[in-house]
Amino acid sequence: MHHYKGRFRGTGEILGTTAAPRPQPRNEKEPLNPGRGATGSNAANRLPSYFMLRKALCSAGLLVLLAGCEQKQNIKEFALRDATMPNGAIVRVEGLRDPMDMARGAQFRESLPPDRGLLYEYAKVGNYRFWMYHTKISIDTIWLDRSRTVVEIAPNMPPCPSASAQKCPLYGGHEQAMFVLQLAGGMAEKYNIRVGSVLSF
């Protein structure tokens, strides 16, 4: 959106920072200039340019919006990286480091493709527990230590139907972990992930 320094006429014209011409004295017999807020032929002549300007601005705004959506999608795709499973399969994982992203996790997602995953990357080793509050899909959750070795697995964690977060059960956190990988329900078994397996990412 452009910021214009100036003022607006009633017909929608934009007056810039340049000085407007000095108005000439009006003959009392002359009709009131309809271009200054009143209706009339002069105002009607100005209306097409006003609507053309609005149309151009709306088109430009739509292009900016579409470009922004495409940029966000490109950024999201750029954030994905490969993780190699024990059976050699490659899963594209979305790295989560920001506390807000980690807190949101898989919440509100309608699906998680079988070749995609969420990788929580913590700043230090700890016991990290998860719940399924506001989560719509079943999730396999895998805890890994600093060396990317699987130390704990919670398969097929079901969505929590309760509207109260306090009534949603907690999963995992029994072992010290540095990373947590979440996959669609059932994918840990398909990828032959077991406690002691080593993943590469």
50 Cβ contact partners less than 8 Å away, ≥ 6 residues apart: 11, 12, 13
Same domain, 46 and 137: no
Share of the chain above pLDDT 70, in %: 61
Residue 25 lies in a domain: no
Is residue 201 assigned to a domain? no
Kindly tell me if the per-residue pLDDT of 57 is higher than 90.
Answer: no
Do 5 and 94 lie in one domain? The reply is: no
Model confidence, pTM: 0.63
Asked if residue 129 lies in contact with residue 175, where contact means CB atoms within 8 angstroms, the answer is no
- 94 in the same domain as 48: no
| DSSP structure string for 107-132 | TT-S---TTEEEEEEEEEEE---B--
Q: Based on the domain organization, do 147 and 112 belong to the same domain?
A: yes
pLDDT at 144: 98
- Contact predicate 112/144, CB 8 Å: no
Residue appearing with tokens 């490969």: 82
pLDDT digits (tens, 9 = 90+) for 147-172: 999 999 999 999 999 999 999 999 99
Please tell me the total count of domains within the chain: 2
At residue 167, the pLDDT reads 95
**Top-ranked range on mean pLDDT: pick from 5-9, 28-32, 45-49, 151-155:** 151-155
Q: Is residue 43 part of a domain?
A: yes
**Dihedral of the alpha carbons of 184, 187, 188, 193, in degrees to the nearest 10:** -140
Q: What is the CATH number of the domain that holds 169?
A: 2.60.120.1140
DSSP E strands in 77-201: the ranges are: 80-84, 90-96, 116-126, 139-144, 150-157, 177-184
Note whether 53 and 77 are same-domain residues: yes
Q: Of 65, 82, 99, at which residue does a domain stop?
A: 82
Note whether 49 and 3 are same-domain residues.
yes
Tell whether 46 and 134 lie within a shared domain. no
> For the residues 19-33, what does the mean pLDDT come to?
44
Q: Are residues 138 and 57 in the same domain?
A: no
The label of the residue with tokens 């700890």 reads 126
57 and 127 fall within a common domain: no
Q: How far is CA 23 from the centre of its chain?
A: 53
The boundaries of the domain holding residue 138 are: 85-190
Tell me: do 78 and 91 sit in the same domain: no
Question: Based on the domain organization, do 78 and 145 belong to the same domain?
Answer: no
Domain membership of residue 9 (yes or no) is yes
My answer on whether 36 and 108 are in the same domain is no
